[in-house]
Amino acid sequence: MLRKISEQYWFGPLIGLVAGMVITHHVIGSAIFAFLGLLIQGGLITSRKNSPEKTAGFLGTEADYLQSIIALAAIVVKADKNISDQQLNFIESKLLRDYSPKHVHRLMSLLKIELQRENNLDRHTRIVAEEFLDASKIQLMHFLVRVSLADGLLANAELKCLKEIAVKIELSLRTFDAILAMFKFKREFEQEKEFPKKKSSSQLLEAAYKILEIEKSVTDGQVKKAYRKMAVQHHPDKVVHLGEAFQKLANEKFQIIVAAYELIQKERKFA
């Protein structure tokens, strides 16, 4: 909360104004201090948003937030009362793409501790809600869904847990459904590439509409508008601060969006 307040542009000038009054006891002096406060405030906000600490690391987060992400992964893993080795192995492999083996060992030890602890969902989701940009929240949810699917099954308890996390980090359920649809679309799309059909399955088409977060009844113009919105929101450049590994994942996600749009366009053309 304090960080949120400190990032408001009125905060710096106010502090400067008060300091100016105390030090100079003069209106002009106070105005100068207020202006300096504005300059300093702007510099702090800019440096914070472009912090080099966010250019690398697991999900591109600062070290302070890493514990929350590990804790959320632990909550998802134990949601169905079954701690799967496949899920733990997936998390470890993801960590190894960003950290040294020694650091990964410490993080996996932290994960095992979190698996034994009582869930503190509110605390960790609050940190993500307040500190993460939307692009990073989406990337986090993609990661958590992949953790759930690592054992080949998305249990009802896991789905309920994922939805709760999405709501608490202030990500809309429609966006969450779009994330799930991407996984379904990719599976169906790969199957149809292997076994070509004259007409795409209704499941694949349904997933395509969900990915663009629109209904089948929308106009062609609304389809294009939705696609442009999703293309901007999910463009790989949006997560450049997360590092090369996650840029590649974002590119894969972007290609799914393109494929979904092209499928809808094709089906509408020949409808």
Rounded to 10 degrees, what is the CA torsion of 117, 3, 230, 213?
Answer: 60
Angstrom distance (rounded) from CA 224 to CA 222: 5
**Tell me: the pLDDT tens digits for 213-260?**
889 889 999 999 998 988 888 777 776 665 666 677 778 888 889 989
Output the CATH code of domain 191-269. Answer: 1.10.287.110
Q: Return the top range by mean pLDDT from 42-46, 50-54, 73-77.
A: 73-77
Among 39-48, 77-86, 128-137, the least confident range: 39-48
How many other β-carbons are positioned within 10 Å of the β-carbon of residue 177? 16
Angstrom distance (rounded) from CA 225 to CA 11: 38
Domain ranges of the chain: 2-50, 54-168, 191-269
Q: What is the pTM of this model?
A: 0.65
Helix H or strand E encompassing 213? none
Phi, psi of 213 (to 5 degrees): 60, 45
